[in-house]
Amino acid sequence: MTKKFLRGGFTTGAAAAAGVKAALIYFASGEIVKCVEITALDGTILKIPINSVEILRDGVKVEVIKNSGDDPDITNGASIFTTTKKISGNEIIFRAGLGVGTITKSGLQLPIGEPAINPAPRQLIKNVAAEFNVTNLEIEISIPAGVELAKKTLNPILGVEGGLSIIGSTGVLRPMSEDAFKNSLVPQIDVAKAAGYDTLIFVPGKIGEVIAQKLGYPAEAIIQTSNFIGFMLEAAAERKISKIILCGHIGKLIKVAAGIFHTHNRVADGRLETLAAYAAAEGLNSVEVQKILNSNTTEDATKIIAENNLERVYKKIAERASLRAERYIFGEIKISVILVDYAGNILGSSEIEQ
């Protein structure tokens, strides 16, 4: 039987960065290129085709067609336009064009009023600019189809109005077929065990990975789980791992405290409800509990916790997540939990005394 390997792709952020690079090549040499090479934030080299280059009076407009590979991404095939202009001063300014949203609620990675171009894509674009020693640019990103596509996402609920977010943690888009993706995660455990590690640090995303590294855990023992925390716990138990530390954003790991082990928001949610319940158990009054329930995101709700000096609730949540995770695998592995926020602060932990 022939094994099918799923094709990877690139994120909207990488598409935008490629458009900026094509523009900067034109600024530098007058050359109109058909393809550019960029380095993703994880070191992966991406070769991205350029669909069109339009020379404007005051800049360059580049079109890149989004290629998601075999990932079921709604932006696959969409045109990503970047209009790059040189400006006076010494900064890179980002603008939201047609189909790219604007942040209207707190609790996201960007302040209210900012274009919904997330920090990682901004860094990817700044890295491209640094290749040309350029620090004075205005970059507008637009996705004409984004106005309609955004209606099929959670953006309107989260407070991203007017279109899509430019997202991606590295620039590389890896196939998300669930079975294939889950099976691609398991070898991380085998490699770590073969290297002699019997304590593993499970992280559902980049935020947890960064914190784990800052805490001094060895990179070879840090395991990406994505949303499949329960599946990966079972895989670790099968391999007789002794200890696991779950380290990640509270918005993901608070679900484990509620007994949710597939953490994609379309499978199960309850982040705010869980936080509200634990805060109420610690004495938060009903008015403030309702504020948590009305919050836009978990990150946003942490401000209410801080205002009421209830930070101790995070340790309770971490301890319950630890207990629930150990029960999930019938006590075969000792499990600790570290909860962090977007800024990388440790909110609560069953692993570290605070």
Tens of pLDDT, residues 180-197: 568 768 888 988 898 899
pLDDT, tens only, 253-306? 999 999 999 998 878 889 999 999 999 999 999 999 999 999 999 999 999 999
Residue 166 bridge partners (DSSP): 117
What average pLDDT is seen over the chain? 90
On the CB side of 6, how many CA atoms lie within 13 Å of its CA?
19
Element (H, E) at 224: strand 222-224
Statement: residue 59 has pLDDT above 70: yes
Structure tokens at 189: 């455990």
Domain edges within the chain:
9-173, 178-349
Q: What is the pTM of this model?
A: 0.69
High-pLDDT (> 70) share of the chain, %: 92
Pick the CATH number of 9-173 from 3.40.50.10860, 3.30.2110.10, 1.10.1740.10, 1.20.810.10: 3.30.2110.10
Task: Please tell me the predicted confidence (pLDDT) of residue 273.
Answer: 97
E strand residue ranges, 60-156? 60-65, 79-86, 92-96, 99-100, 102-103, 137-142
Radius of gyration of the chain (CA): 22
- C-alpha distances out from residue 50 to 17, 33, 67, 317, Å: 11, 7, 12, 48
Task: Please tell me the predicted confidence (pLDDT) of residue 2.
Answer: 40
Q: Are 22 and 50 in contact (CB under 8 A)?
A: yes
Round to whole Å and give the CA distance between 119 and 224: 20
Let me know how long the chain is: 354
Task: Please tell me the predicted confidence (pLDDT) of residue 159.
Answer: 82
High-pLDDT (> 90) share of the chain, %: 72
